[in-house]
Amino acid sequence: MITLKSEREIEMMRKSGAILAGVHLGLRDIIKPGISSWDIEKFANAYIEEHHAKAEEKGFEGYKYATCVSVNDEVAHATPRKDLLLKNGDIVAVDMVVNLDGFMSDSCWTYAVGEISEEKQHLMDVTKKALYLGIDQAVIGNRIGDIGYAIQHYVEDENHMGDVRELIGHGIGPTMHEEPNVPHYGEPGKGLRLREGMTITIEPMVNLGTWEIASKQVPGDTWEYYVSADGTPSAQYEHTLVITKDGPKILTSQDPVEDAKYL
């Protein structure tokens, strides 16, 4: 079932999103060569708790952590690890969901660790722009396929990178994952029509090589995560947004200047 949110619900989701954005802003100073991916988990968990919110991923389908921390060729759902030290030249994507008094926000961001290659920087730039091209299509009367087509065309046709198919965006609130599904590929004019009050995530994952992914299992655990099938680096950017009569409005913005038109 798709729920259309009231002004009050949207405002509470915006407050939740502000907490999540605060974590990402703090991580800009935390992430550097030599820290472990567990240090990212500790910071995020503490920040969320200090702001009287809950890390919603904890306990979801058996997951144990506040964050997913995916490094280099890891595409999504990788766990934070005490023995995984970040190195100069790595890229790391940090994904989390914040629950503030029952109101959800979901956002992922990719960070450079120290000095990275031009190739990895280009991957990050393309992925971030793909997110915003998708957001631009999230207007009343458009269809889900318009979002996916804008992302896929830019990633694959213009930049010859891999637009991951298996992992997609989704509706959000009052639970973490709701209808509608929001693929990052598609045909313009196809799929569900977008309506005012819908809250969704758009979260493209882009591989430098193939769009295909493979699953791996955390050693000593049953948890599965995903890597690029060909071992190439992967990046992800994600926002939670609401569709309004004034266009898409980002609820997890980190930058009021860059995102001015979406606030």
247: three-class secondary structure by DSSP? strand
With 0-12 CB in 10 A as exposed, 13-18 as middle and 19+ as buried, what is 110?
A: buried
Tokens at 160, concatenated: 């010859």
41 annotated to bind ligand = no
Query: What is the DSSP pairing of strand 224-228 with strand 234-236?
Result: unpaired
Q: How many CB atoms lie within 10 A of CB 171?
A: 19
24 annotated to bind ligand = no
184 annotated to bind ligand = no
Of 242, 255, 238, nearest to 131 by C-alpha is 238
95 annotated to bind ligand = yes
203 annotated to bind ligand = yes
Measured distance CA(17)–CA(13) in Å, rounded: 6
Which segments are annotated as binding site?
77, 95, 106, 170, 177, 203, 238
Instruction: Tell me the binding residues for substrate.
Output: 77, 177
- Name the binding residues for a divalent metal cation: 95, 106, 170, 203, 238
